[in-house]
Structure 1
Amino acid sequence: MRIVRTVVSLLLALFFLLPLSWMLVVSVKDEAMKIKGVLDWYKPPYTLDTYFYVFRETSLLRWMFNSFVVACAVTVLVVLFTSMSAFALSKIRFRLRGFVFVFILAGLMIPGEAMIIPLYQVVKELGMLDSYQGLILPAIASPFAVVVLKSFFDSVPNELIESAEMDGGGLFKIYYSIVLPLAKPAIASIAILTFIGQWNNFLWPFISITSEELFTLPMGIPTLLSQYTKDYVRPMAINSISSLPVIIVFLFSRSRLCAG
């Protein structure tokens, strides 16, 4: 039975890796090569000229830098603020705690698209349109992350918190010395989901950014792909480059999580 599960798992892995491998192979093909069948995509010759062209003639690296800055900043701030909020809701007794949690839960029922217009008006009044601040700050609020982390913090024994308080530990020390290390799997999951979500975010940058030098990848890539609608190689090279950071972050986070 174990052998069957292993074989099935390997087949599923190959099935899901096939589109990725096809994208990578096509991205290193010669644009002038004639393709008569599917197998012709995997036959040599191979070349990196398309990658050199993309790096030299487009603003892809600049857009990738913008996406990386925004995604990293949002991820760090979301993990920081939502973990503190979840810790307060889970382990600190205060009036209206239940109401606050229900209010946060209600935020999950409101589609993000429904808040675009009021959010745009607020950001405009604050003078943060077409800026990094306008891209980062509106994305910090994450009711989903608060709910997930609170549920995880609820599983931490209250006796552990009380013993730490008896030893003279303050709330903030208990938060970062005891609760956060125990919540590493949940925090890693929130960080990965937040990073990928911001890396792929298109709607808010499309509305709030007008300067090309502040474009993120989801905004910039369509402007490049529209020029090469009859080509496969350049779009695949562009998508390969833009996908690489997300794959690296996912593998790094997974290895760190498994090591922990």
Structure 2
Amino acid sequence: MAAIKKKTTVGRKLLYLFSYLFVAVWLIPIAWMFITSVTPSGSPVTVISQLFKPPFTLGNYDYVVNNALIWRWTFNSFLVATTTTVLTIMLTSLAAFALSRLTFKGRNVIFWVIIAGLMVPIEALIVPLFQIMIDFNLVNSYSALILPNLAAPLGVFILKQFFDGVPNELVEAARVDGASIFTIYWKIFLPLSRSSMAALAIFTFIMSWNDFLWPFLAVNSEAMFTLPVAIPTFQSAYTAELMIPMAANVLASVPAIIVFILFQKHIIQGIAMTGIK
């Protein structure tokens, strides 16, 4: 018994050690980004021995705030990410509920067609999506940034997996009480799937916040840029050094990091409850 306990203790210590090592590896780029953002212009940022030496300055942040449309770009990113998240949750939950609880011809075929969308890379859809935006005169607008992202097969799959596990007794009891289909969806399925939808909302928000390729093609006005599209302009239009782009990257990363820290437990709960490994 003692040998087994000792073996378990050693194994757990090794697991913790490897976990800490992985955390350190993931934190190194973040630490380098932050330190570079407070390094004075002209200082070496690729030499490790020089990276942590003072002086440090907040002048790079001052330059970003006062010489670029950083707040406008942040607003654009926040508006697009928030709107995309809310609409995606609404549409995917309705679709998942219909596929899970309503009986109609071709239901399984529709579900597998939606799941097949997971295998189509966004690069394959760029040309037809852009042509649609041109035909409807939506280029360089918030609609162009939001609408293509509302098709979320992964969200439908996650929520359907959860809805399938809701006991039929709850639905039958609600029907006996005279509840309509929408009432069952709104008052039973949505409250029960709160953790799953929170996890999906976080994934959707972060993916929309970090999206570069489609916003880069969909807008051409500087005032309509989102942060991932706008940050590279610092290196070409404002400076050739890394300090100012890194300061902009820090400011762009803060909202996503805050959202993740505040709601990280919902990610774990949502994934566990939907059975996604």
Q: TM-score, normalised by structure 1?
A: 0.90
Among 70, 74, 82, which residue is 2:84 paired with?
74
Among 218, 225, 234, which residue is 2:235 paired with?
225
SS of equivalent residue, structure 1 residue 108: helix
Distance 1:185 1:36, change over 3 A: closer
Which residue is 1:57 aligned to? 67
Report Cα offsets for 1:42-99 as digits up to 9, x if no partner.
2222211110111000112211211111011001100111011001100111222112
Alignment of 1:22-61 (within 5 A): 22-33=32-43, 37-61=47-71
Amino acid at match of 1:220: A
Among 97, 105, 113, which residue is 1:87 paired with?
97
Please give the alpha-carbon distance, in whole angstroms, between the structure 1 residues aligned to 2:193 and 2:42: 53
Instruction: Name structure 2 gaps, 5 residues minimum.
Output: 1-8, 271-277
Alignment of 1:142-153 (within 5 A): 142-153=152-163
How many residue pairs end up in the alignment?
260
Please give the alpha-carbon distance, in whole angstroms, between the structure 2 residues aligned to 1:107 and 1:34: 46
Among 8, 12, 15, which residue is 1:5 paired with?
15
Distance 1:252 1:119, change over 3 A: same
Instruction: Indicate conservation of the 8 Å contact 2:215/2:225, yes or no.
Output: yes
Instruction: Name structure 1 gaps, 5 residues minimum.
Output: none
Among 25, 28, 53, which residue is 1:15 paired with?
25
SS of equivalent residue, structure 2 residue 41: coil
Which residue is 2:5 aligned to? none
Which residue is 2:182 aligned to? 172
Report Cα offsets for 1:219-254 as digits up to 9, x if no partner.
211111224675232121111111111111111222
Stretch deviating more after TM superposition (150-159 or 174-183): 174-183
Matched, 1:125 2:131: no
SS of equivalent residue, structure 1 residue 20: helix
Q: CA deviation at 1:12?
A: 2.3
Please give the alpha-carbon distance, in whole angstroms, between the structure 2 residues aligned to 1:170 and 1:194: 30
Q: CA deviation at 1:5?
A: 3.0
Instruction: Indicate conservation of the 8 Å contact 1:184/1:257, yes or no.
Output: no
Percentage identity across paired residues of the two chains? 45
Distance 1:97 1:258, change over 3 A: closer
Which residue is 1:237 aligned to? 247
Amino acid at match of 1:199: W
Among 178, 196, 202, which residue is 1:192 paired with?
202
Please give the alpha-carbon distance, in whole angstroms, between the structure 2 residues aligned to 1:114 and 1:191: 25
SS of equivalent residue, structure 2 residue 115: helix
SS of equivalent residue, structure 1 residue 210: coil
Which residue is 1:155 aligned to? 165
Q: TM-score, normalised by structure 2?
A: 0.85
Please give the alpha-carbon distance, in whole angstroms, between the structure 1 residues aligned to 2:120 and 2:268: 35
Which residue is 1:102 aligned to? 112
Q: CA deviation at 1:129?
A: 1.4
